[in-house]
Amino acid sequence: MQRVLRSEGGFTLIELVVVLAVIALLAATLTPLVTRYIQDARIQRAQNEVQVIGAAIQKFEQDLGRFPFFSNGAGTLREADQDVVVLQGPGDMPTEDTASNWTSSTVTGCKATTCVRGELAEQLIKNTPAYPTTRSEGKPFVWKGPFLDKLQTDPWGNKYLINIQNVRSDKSFAAIILSAGANGKVETAFEPTGGLTINLTPGGDDIVYRIR
């Protein structure tokens, strides 16, 4: 008499093959959908976070009468003393085909003698530059932070970047908060062409929020 081979759990080998085939088919069908869902969720998170950071910077400006582009806030906060060219959050530095102020370790174009990169947390959470926190004669504006509870990387583990020097009155370029997106490459110019009158179009898959 011919016997039907069964697995230890009671399934025939043919049944196991069918089940495995169905699982493989479902995996092949669902994996792209799950991947797309995860990617869309990351993009949405980045879009939300650049807006939150933007709102915090605008609140900072309302309180201080200046944007956060000083490494020392104990002075008169004159625009002529601006030394922070780029503000950055935590995380890895994104790449760039040709290094600019976005990603270069050496930044240029500030009004002070020495130009620096600044940390968002120091400006918005810690007040490391020591901006005044109490009003006094000649200093009517004060730091009322923290303006954010915390800062984190963008959804791909990279830094959020801000070309903060572009908020200066003598600059005619858009100032933006930027995530380099899924490819981790900055593809938006540090000084976007077209001045302040255009609707800024991000480069590549960059995610940006304009603050000026």
**pLDDT at residue number 66:** 92
109: region left, alpha or beta (phi > 0 left; psi from -120 to 50 alpha): left
Count of domains for the chain: 1
Out of 2-6, 14-18, 108-112, pick the least confident: 2-6
The answer to whether 162 and 19 are in contact (CB under 8 A) is: no
| Residue among 47, 45, 90 at smallest CA distance from 208 | 47
Decide if 4 is inside a domain: no
What is the arithmetic mean of pLDDT over 11-33?
Answer: 79
Decide if 5 is inside a domain: no
What is the arithmetic mean of pLDDT over 122-150?
Answer: 90
Average pLDDT of the residues of the chain:
89
Nearest-angstrom CA–CA distance, 147 and 125 = 6
Predicted confidence band at 135 (pLDDT cuts at 50, 70, 90)? confident
Predicted confidence band at 105 (pLDDT cuts at 50, 70, 90)? very high
One-letter amino acid at 201 equals T
Decide if 33 is inside a domain: yes
What is the value of pTM for the model shown?
A: 0.83
Decide if 7 is inside a domain: no
pLDDT digits (tens, 9 = 90+) for 157-166: 999 999 999 9
Residue 139 pLDDT exceeds 80: no
Greatest CA separation found in the chain?
Answer: 105
What is the arithmetic mean of pLDDT over 39-59?
Answer: 96
Q: What is the DSSP string of 135-147?
A: -BTTB--------
Domain of residue 45: give its range. 13-210
Decide if 158 is inside a domain: yes
Residue count of the chain: 212
Q: Which two tokens stand for residue 51?
A: 């807006």
Decide if 156 is inside a domain: yes
Predicted confidence band at 198 (pLDDT cuts at 50, 70, 90)? low
Nearest-angstrom CA–CA distance, 88 and 58 = 16
Out of 75-84, 114-123, 173-182, pick the least confident: 75-84
Decide if 90 is inside a domain: yes
One-letter amino acid at 41 equals A
Decide if 88 is inside a domain: yes
Out of 21-25, 27-31, 114-118, 135-139, pick the least confident: 135-139
